[in-house]
């Protein structure tokens, strides 16, 4: 994940090629047959073949139960795959010898909806007896999709015209198998948001130190120059520190989640592993949605710091904004992630999933309650941690009467959860920094404390607005009928 952030910060569009290959490899590792692993996994790991995930279709969006792609039994264990998939990142290119498509399709006797989806591996070139590239399969790029950003990545409409494919996992369990890849992709997209925050911050900081404009409000800061660097101005500092706080907080969130992932994949069965698995499920939609939302905000702040130059293509800042915009959409929109968090992960577990995390935060706050160096962090964190549970209970009670309450509260609930989660991680960082101020890295730890203070004083108060909107309920959203939505706009 550390390496992934560097790749995303350097060139997000290029980084999607190996990123998707990792996802395809994970899916085959967990659900493929021994023969499939031998044929495809080795080449994917070597990097000479790349992978894709082919999910949605022109009429589907997120509702994959509506897919029309069909898989008909053919010779031996093969299937003939026919259908059209859209938004296929890295779908067609010549950067690798072969492209391995993981495709969702329905068998002839499949149940309706998402319960009837199966997963198939469909290579661009069929491997020969030695496992090398053989004849071309009946899969082709129908068109390249012209995108707002990520122009270095080939996003394609892919046509499968009776293409040869092989079943991965059990029949009609394709969505569950694909979730191995989708969960990895959700974490990957969160890292994309983080990488773009970091890239925008580094560029913005360099520019703000060099750009001369006006004098500081308290007097000349650089008297030997015709104007002061814009980094002396409070509003520029506000934007820079917003980027810095989201970069550092986001990195802590990603690596904390990575620790949970390592425990799930490599830990011994038991309480610690179960705890990690619960937290991983809770944090994955937060990583994906929260970091992409604040990532888009941060790249926009980067353009603002550059002023008019930020709007000009040659400086590269507007590209970061365009690249960041897709991260809020693919692998499940912010709204979908929010429903997953509030509806599936929290409410469906009767709040038990959330309690696992809030108990951890409570234990930290209790242990540091008498630490004077952490009072400014522990007191507000403790209050928010309690409020998190109260808000959850409130939505749950309303949802018993009206299920629309979950959808109405979900995005604000996710953003609230993200801000509180980062607050916990910043408090932990502050604890470590506060006892490390006397060493050689004093400046580093002092900066960490200053960033934590900025986060608590300037960004964490956003939770108040999100809490109020969560509590406002669904009535103002649902009162207008679909037919009357346009009323009131007449001129």
- Report the alpha-carbon distance of residue 269 to residue 263 in Å, rounded: 9
d(CA 11, CA 320): 10
Distance CA 172, CA 163 (A): 19
CA distance 305 to 459: 18
Q: Which has the closest alpha carbon to 413: 349, 346, 361, 322?
A: 346
Nearest alpha-carbon partner for 448 in 428, 468, 462, 464: 428
Residue 331 annotated in active site: yes
**How many Å apart are CA 41 and CA 90, to the nearest integer?**
18
Closest residue by Cα to residue 203 from 340, 361, 118, 314: 314
Q: What is the number of other CB atoms lying within 10 angstroms of the CB of residue 198?
A: 24
Residues 6+ apart with CB under 8 A from 467: 387, 391, 412, 416
DSSP letter, residue 109: T
Backbone angles phi, psi at 389, to 5 degrees: -65, -40
- The catalytically annotated residue of 5, 297, 331, 368 is 331
Residue 441 has phi, psi (to 5 degrees) of -95, 30
Distance, CA of 482 to chain centre: 31
Residue 157 near residue 107 (C-beta atoms within 8 A): no
Distances from the Cα of 146 to the Cαs of 34, 87, 89, 336, in angstroms?
Answer: 39, 10, 12, 24
Query: Which tokens go with 112?
Result: 């309706």
Q: What are the CA-CA distances from residue 106 to residues 100, 122, 175, 241, 253 (Å)?
A: 19, 14, 11, 50, 37
Q: Where are the alpha helices (DSSP H) in 32-152?
A: 34-36, 42-46
Do residues 186 and 345 make contact, with C-beta atoms less than 8 angstroms apart? no
Rounded Cα–Cα distance for residues 406 and 22 (Å): 34
Tokens of 48: 């000479």
Active site residues: 331
């Amino acid at each position: 994940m550390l390496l992934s952030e560097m790749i995303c910060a350097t060139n997000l569009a290029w980084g999607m090629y190996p990123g998707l290959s990792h996802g395809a490899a994970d899916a085959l590792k967990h659900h493929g047959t021994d023969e499939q692993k031998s044929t495809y996994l080795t080449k994917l790991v070597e990097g000479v073949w790349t992978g894709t995930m082919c999910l949605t279709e022109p009429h589907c969006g997120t509702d994959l139960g509506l897919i029309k792609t069909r898989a008909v039994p053919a010779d031996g264990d093969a299937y003939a795959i026919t259908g059209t998939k859209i938004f296929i990142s890295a779908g067609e290119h010549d950067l690798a010898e072969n492209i391995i498509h993981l495709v969702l399709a329905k068998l002839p006797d499949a149940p309706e909806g998402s319960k009837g989806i199966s997963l198939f591996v469909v290579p661009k070139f069929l491997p020969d007896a030695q496992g090398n590239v053989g004849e071309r399969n009946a899969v082709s790029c129908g068109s390249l999709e012209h995108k707002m950003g990520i122009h270095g990545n080939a996003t394609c409409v892919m046509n499968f015209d009776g293409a040869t494919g092989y079943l991965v996992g059990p029949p009609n369990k394709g969505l569950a198998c694909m979730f191995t890849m989708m969960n990895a992709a959700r974490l990957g997209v969160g890292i994309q948001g983080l990488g773009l925050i970091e890239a925008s911050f580094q560029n913005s900081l360099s520019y703000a130190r060099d750009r001369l404009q006006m004098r500081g409000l308290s007097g000349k800061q650089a008297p030997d120059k015709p104007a002061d660097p814009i980094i002396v101005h409070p509003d520029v500092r506000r934007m820079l520190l917003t980027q810095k706080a989201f970069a550092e907080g986001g990195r802590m969130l990603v690596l904390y989640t990575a620790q949970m992932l390592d425990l799930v994949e490599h830990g011994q069965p038991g309480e610690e592993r179960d705890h990690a698995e619960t937290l991983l499920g809770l944090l994955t939609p937060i990583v994906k949605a929260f970091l992409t939302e604040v990532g888009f905000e941060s790249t926009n702040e980067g353009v603002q710091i550059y002023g008019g130059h930020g709007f000009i293509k040659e400086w590269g800042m507007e590209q970061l904004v365009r690249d960041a915009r897709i991260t809020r959409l693919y692998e499940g929109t912010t709204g979908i992630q929010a429903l997953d968090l509030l509806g599936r992960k929290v409410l469906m577990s009767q709040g038990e999933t959330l309690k696992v995390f809030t108990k951890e935060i409570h234990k930290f706050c209790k242990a540091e309650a008498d630490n004077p160096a952490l009072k400014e962090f522990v007191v507000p964190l403790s209050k928010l941690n309690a409020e998190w549970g109260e808000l959850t209970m409130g939505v749950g009670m309303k949802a018993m009467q009206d299920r629309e309450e979950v959808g109405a509260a979900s995005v604000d609930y996710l953003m609230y959860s993200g801000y509180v989660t980062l607050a916990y991680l910043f408090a932990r960082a502050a604890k470590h920094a506060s006892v490390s101020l006397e060493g050689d890295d004093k400046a580093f730890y002092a900066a960490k404390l200053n960033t934590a203070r900025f986060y608590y004083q300037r960004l964490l108060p956003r939770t108040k607005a999100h809490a109020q909107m969560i509590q406002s309920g669904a009535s103002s959203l649902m009162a207008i009928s679909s037919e009357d939505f346009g009323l009131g706009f007449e001129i």
